[in-house]
Amino acid sequence: MHPTVIIGAGMAAYTLAREIRKHDKLRRLLIVSADGADAYSKPMLSNAFAMGKNAAQLVSHDAAQMAQQVDAEIVAHCRVSGIDRLAGTIATERGTLAYAQLVLAVGAEPIRLALAGQAAQAVLSINHLDDYARLRGELAAIDGAARIVILGAGLIGCEFAEDLSAAGHQLTLVDPNPYPLAALAAPALSRGLLAAWQGRPIAFEAGASALAVERDGEGGLLLSLSNGKCIGADIVLSAVGLRPALGLAHGAGLQTGRGILVDRFGRTSAPDIYALGDCAEYTVDAGGPPSAAPSAASTAVFNYVAPMMTAARAIAATLTGSPTAIELKAEAITVKTPGYKLALFPPPKGLAGNWVDEVDGERTVCRFFDAAGCLRGFGLSHHTLALRQQLLAGLNHGPQ
Ligand SMILES: Cc1cc2nc3c(=O)[nH]c(=O)nc-3n(C[C@H](O)[C@H](O)[C@H](O)COP(=O)(O)OP(=O)(O)OC[C@H]3O[C@@H](n4cnc5c(N)ncnc54)[C@H](O)[C@@H]3O)c2cc1C
């Protein structure tokens, strides 16, 4: 009998493997990953600099320990280049491997801005432990505090800004919007975050985007912005977003949208191939029979741990013989900005409505009401679990 094969060794792959083992101790599991397959908590990448942790210290279990923990064969440093759906095989750097069921847990790739200049390739992105190790290496080579420019003041950009400034570096965030977290947070909370950064070495360059990166002739970088300014930097970090990794799915002719489209059971358009984690685009409505083909009508990509864990539990049950739909729950996004802790549940993009702000001591609670007066989104500083749950319970999710 061929094994269940999981491509990838990130949080999605290992969560799924652990869940499969809860149902089935015997089946053969094979995990094939392009990276070293060490297990680590990716969210820690944006709060580990202040703690002074190196990449090795972020590894909870190495590949050998994971193989033992989930009783799987793990093939690390082995990129999968293709899927032959008819033959039920994958092509890898180490030959062809057969699968009984296949799961894509290949994650997402950082979006690269098209920047001009001879040093454009020097711009770093951090979406993997190896990227974290590289940035730590570059910081170690700089004497004292580094001048770091972060492109993009979204969730990840703001978290890195806080973390790297707490580690003693000088930060500049560059963003086309007037405030940080503009796509996610109420303006009052974005202003609160900016206020919390006052007195800290975090500058915010609003309404600007990066155009070009050149060498300054003294070992540093020079970044030209759309507002005419030039900023000197030792390191430029891009945090402008992620794009699901679609190469394998495209090659195999699987249906894709922004991500790999899956039905309520996590199945792609090929019945024996599943997908989860940052690469997947989930069906978020509750309708449709188990055999329904994925539809682009009500689907979403989530780059967060909670939906991936929900998907892993359901897919593990389905793979082991108990078809179980993925029931994604509404969750607030918690932002790891210790200087001004935020929890956010943004309203649907483009929805008309108004933010109503309430200030209660140091806490600001912002509620977004649509034209019919329904609560469709919220955000709050100094949050607690009880408050988040209270706000989530009051949400109206609108027409499905
Ligand atoms: C800095 C940062 C901070 C974050 N903070 C939070 C947070 O606070 N809360 C939260 O909920 N989420 C957070 N996230 C998001 C969360 O970490 C991700 O949603 C989650 O880790 C994604 O896991 P994954 O397994 O889907 O993808 P990945 O971790 O990207 O794993 C993909 C795997 O696939 C392998 N792979 C890819 N292509 C191939 C191939 N062709 N052949 C073989 N192997 C391949 C890779 O080597 C890797 O092992 C954060 C993300 C980042 C980057």
**Which atom of ligand 1 is nearest to 278's Cα?**
26
Instruction: Using CB atoms within 10 Å of the CB of residue 159, give its burial: 0 to 12 exposed, 13 to 18 middle, 19+ buried.
Output: buried
Domain ranges of the chain: 4-109+242-319, 112-238, 347-393
Residue range 323-365, pLDDT digits in tens = 999 999 999 999 999 999 999 999 998 999 999 999 999 999 9
Which of 180, 10, 170 lies closest to 106, judged by CA? 10
| pLDDT greater than 80 at residue 366 | yes
What is the CA(6)–ligand 1 centre distance, in A?
14
pLDDT band at 287 (very low <50, low <70, confident <90, very high): very low
Q: Which residues pair with 63 in a beta bridge?
A: none
Spatial separation of the C-alpha atoms in residues 170 and 233, rounded to whole Å: 9
Query: What is the number of the ligand 1 atom nearest to the C-alpha of 8?
Result: 34
Quick one: which of 314, 308, 289, 113 has its CA closest to 210? 113
Please report where in the chains the tokens 């454009």 appear, as a residue: 120
Q: State the pLDDT at residue 31.
A: 98
DSSP calls for 83-125: EETTTTEEEETTEEEE-SEEEE---EEEPPP--BSTTGGG-EE
Give CATH superfamily name and number for 4-109+242-319.
Answer: FAD/NAD(P)-binding domain (3.50.50.60)
The H-or-E segment that residue 187 falls in is: helix 187-197
* Band of residue 289 on the pLDDT scale cut at 50, 70, 90: very low
Query: Do 334 and 40 contact (CB within 8 A), yes or no?
Result: no
**What's the pTM value of the predicted model, to 2 decimals?**
0.94
How far is it, in rounded angstroms, from Cα 176 to Cα 197? 19
Token reading at 286: 């509750």
Superfamily of segment(s) 112-238: FAD/NAD(P)-binding domain (3.50.50.60)
Ligand 1: distance of its center to the CA of 105 in Å?
9
- The Å distance, Cα 10 to ligand 1 centre, comes to 5
SS3 212: strand
d(CA 328, CA 280): 13
- How far is Cα of residue 259 from the mean position of the Cα atoms in its chain? 13
Contacts of 11 (CB under 8 A, 6+ apart): 41, 42, 277, 305, 308
Same fold, 4-109+242-319 and 112-238: yes
Task: Calculate what percentage of the chain has a pLDDT beyond 70.
Answer: 96
What is the pLDDT, as a whole number, of residue 149? 98
Q: Whose CA is nearest to atom 7 of ligand 1?
A: 43
Which mutation among 303, 342, 345 tests ligand 1's pocket best, with the greatest number of atoms within 8 A of CB? 303
Contact by Cβ (8 Å): 165, 171: yes
pLDDT digits (tens, 9 = 90+) for 104-118: 999 999 999 999 999
